[in-house]
Each structure stands twice: as C-alpha cells, then as structure tokens.
Amino acid sequence: MFRTRLIALAATAALVTSAAMAAPTLIARGSLSGNLFDLAASTHGALENGVAGNLLGGIGSGLAWAGGNSFLGLPDRGPNATAYNSAVDDTTSYIARYQSLTLSLAPASAGSALPLAMTPTLTGTTLLSSPTALSYGSGAGLGTRADGTPMGSGAPSLNAVDGKQYFSGRSDNFDPAKGSLNADNGRLDPESIRVSADGKSVFISDEYGPYVYQFDRATGARLRSFALPANLGIAKLSPVGSTEITGNSSGRVANKGMEGLAITPDGKSLVGIMQAPLIQDAAVAASNKLVRIVTIDIATGATHEYGYKLTDGSGVSEIVALNDHQFLVDERDGKGLGDGSTAKVKKVYLIDIAGATDITGLSGAAAANAAVAKSQFLDLVSALNVAGGISDPNQVPAKIEGMAFGEDVVLNGSLMHTLFVANDNDFVQSVAGDNQFFVFGFTDQDLSAVRAGAFFQQQAIATVPEPASAALVILCLLGLSVAQRYRRDQD
C-alpha cells in the first residue's frame, strides 16, 4: 500500500525534471529546524548542565525506516557539549529516547534543482526504560551542577514521578563491581535503531556496553538484552572515558562501541558494527584498522564476528542491510560542519559477509586477513556537491551517522530505491547546523556495477495500527460478536 502510493506520487515528480539521473544521486533534502524541543513534555526540567531535558537535537545519530513515510530518529546520550563537570565527562541524566518522524516526499516546484521536496515532521517522542532496577551513580565526590548545587544521583528525576527506571546518558550510571556488558547498568549511549518485522518493537545498539537491546515500540520498555561476545566489553569502568581506555587492555574503546546496527530484510538477524578497532586489535600493527562486525540471530541469540578494515575514514558510523548478506557501511572522518573544518571522508562502502571467516577467536594478522572485501558505493561529499545540495565542503555535516532505506520512487521512468541519510548535530544547532536529511536514489544496476550480483531487498515491516484504530477494530469485533449472539438467540 505504502509503496504504490509513493511510486505514483514520484511518477508525477518525474515530470518536473528532464535531467538524466546518474545514481546514486541526491534527489531530495530537508531539515527539522523549527522545533526547539521534542514531545516529551514531562522532561522539561533542566539537566545538570542547565540545558532543558527535552531539547531536540542529535536525532540523526541513528535513523530507521518504519514503513511508508514513517521513520525513527535516534539521539545519542544527550546534550553534553556544555562543559560543567569533567568528572562525568560533562554528561547528564538526559533520558535515552527515540523520535518518531514523517519524512514526506512530494514533487518539487517547477525550477527546483532537486526533483523531490521533503517535509520532515516530528510526530512523537518515546522514552526508554527498564522494567527492572538499574544501577545509577550516587554523585558522591563529583562536585556540583552548573547552578552550584550538589551533583546528586545519576538517576533521572522523572523516575520518582513515573515510578520507572529510565536509561540515561550520565557516564557514572553503572555498577563498578561488574563489567561493561552488565545489562543492569543505567547508562545508555544509543547509536543505531531498527524496527522489528512485526513493527511492534525496536532494536537499539549502544556505545557504553556495548549493548543491543530490544524495546517495546509503544511504551519504550526494554523487552530483551542480547548477550554480546565477551571480547567487546571492558572490565574496569569509569565515568571518565580516557580513564576507561588506559585502565583496560581489551574491549571497546570508550565512546566508540557498537555505532551501527542493521536488520536483515527478513527480520531474522541483527548485524552490528563497532565504530573503531577494539583495544586489543588496535594494539597490534596488523589489525589496527580492523573493525568488528557482530551478527545476532534474533531467535536464538547466537553470534558470529566478521572483520571490516577501515580505508581512509577514522571510524564507522552505520550499517544497513541490502539483503541477508550484503550491507552498506558508512565510513567517515570527523571533519566538516560542527568541527570547524573541511569535510573530506564521508563514504559508503558495499560489503558481503557470505562465505566470510568468523573471527571471534582470531586476533592480529589472522583476523585482519579475514576481513570482508569492500567496494565504494557512494562518496557523500562529492554527491552532495550538486545543485540543490551542498557546494561548500565546510557545510557538509561532520557527523553523518544515520542511514535507512525508504520507499521506492519512479523518476524519469526508472524505478529507484531510496537511501535516507541523516546527521548528528550534537544538540548544538548553532554550531553543527540543523537536523538534516538527504535522500539518494539508486538502481539495481548501480549496485551490480559496484559488485556483481549485488541486489536490494526491501525490509518487510507489518503495519501497526494507531491506538485509536486498534480500539475501533476491537469495538467492531465486539459488535460483530454481539450481533452474532443476538441472531443465535432469535433462532
């Protein structure tokens, strides 16, 4: 239903432009610039650094398609660009959440440089919580807040109001007696999000653990925690990232955990990717460019590890599934708008894990030599440098982190798949710009030109009725039951 509607709409848009499409091609862009706050009204109170607890920002840290023109945007651990307390890396008790969005595409007006126009709209905010107790920092010995009052516990103040255990971004929210893979730790730095096949839950990966959690889409309550390989975690935790790095000889680097997460189109597997090499891999010259990919069977929880080698980027920000074994990976540097520098490396690579070696027990050259082959699919800096795009590389967002496939469109008589790309502006719009969205069109031929046999399969997501619609269905069923019973009584 959704795809047919958008194909028909986009076919009209094809009349607007007669230029030949050279894909992957920028076909639309938009920004969410009018909203200063999200829709979580109950978090209006100021955070430890004085920033509003429902400040809208960073929603392109992760981006997921939810069917039709619906998407989910994921902020990370919150607004910590305002310095106030280095003992917790300036992090706050900002509640982890995701934002519901509509990214509507329509025919662009005559004379527009791009064939489609986008209208982003914020439609909802969902806070993330745990049904069981979480470990929070006490605040003891951490000094004061921005307003001079004692730091206080890392537990969000909303806990006491709602009676829930909310996840938050404050870096001291953990049990020091347990490692970083402990699912009872209250700290969460969300980096990627995907929607389940039935549309009723979401999967989120994080940097602190790293963790991969499943949450109820309607309530934000955690449903499941997946057990990740032990070599990803660290044993000695600290609220200060640099202390965690120097205090551990293995595991993820602080703030560079599981940055990307994909779900295969059949909804059966999750595929996470670390942002940077693990501490133990980085310590060896042969594997200091090796980033680990972790596949998770959703039904059984079974995991496998594969290798990805960085080319010219400093890390990986996202992974999205083309099919059950081929993926697009966002590799980038940290340069561009928000960093005060010129963007250089923002590239998307196509990889294939079919037949790849499981490197779970491998290290050094053995692990690095087993890394999957990669082919460049899209150079974002170059692709944005077109009419209607971004001509100045200094204005290309430094942190292009979110990727999701959307509905197919028809342009110039050709069926095109769509890749939506979003930025993380770190909640500092004045420095890093708006929450921006870019849409690229590509064809099956574009994929096969990069790698023979590559193909795209759209994820199947069941439509979840809105609460009012669900209630109406129930009432109709009840009415039908009553009517049938009445007829039986009359027989």
Residue 412, pLDDT above cutoff 70: yes
Q: How far is CA 490 from CA 205, 480, 482, 484, in A?
A: 58, 15, 12, 10
Q: How many Å apart are CA 6 and CA 116, to the nearest integer?
A: 11
Residue 470, pLDDT above cutoff 60: no
Residue 95, pLDDT above cutoff 60: yes
- 258-296: pLDDT as tens digits: 999 999 999 999 999 999 999 999 999 999 999 999 999
Residue 485, pLDDT above cutoff 50: no
Q: How many Å apart are CA 267 and CA 459, to the nearest integer?
A: 7
In the block, residue with structure tokens 């392109």: 60
Tokens of 150: 């004692």
Report the share of the chain in percent with pLDDT over 70: 90
Segment 31-45 shows an average pLDDT of 86
Integer-rounded Cα radius of gyration of the chain: 23
Residue 478, pLDDT above cutoff 60: no
In the block, residue with structure tokens 């596949």: 295
282 contact partners, CB below 8 Å, separation of at least 6? 253, 276, 288
Q: How far is CA 151 from CA 127, 156, 225, 263, in A?
A: 23, 12, 30, 39
- 220-251: pLDDT as tens digits: 999 999 999 999 999 999 999 999 999 999 99
Q: Say if residues 75 and 91 touch (Cβ distance below 8 Å).
A: no
Segment 49-66 shows an average pLDDT of 96
* pLDDT value, residue 35: 77
Q: How many Å apart are CA 167 and CA 189, to the nearest integer?
A: 9
Residue 43 — pLDDT band, cuts 50, 70, 90? confident
Q: How many Å apart are CA 122 and CA 125, to the nearest integer?
A: 8
- 163-177: pLDDT as tens digits: 999 999 999 999 999
In the block, residue with structure tokens 């795009």: 389
* pLDDT value, residue 465: 62
Residue 33 — pLDDT band, cuts 50, 70, 90? confident
Tokens of 443: 């064809």
Q: How many Å apart are CA 159 and CA 166, to the nearest integer?
A: 6
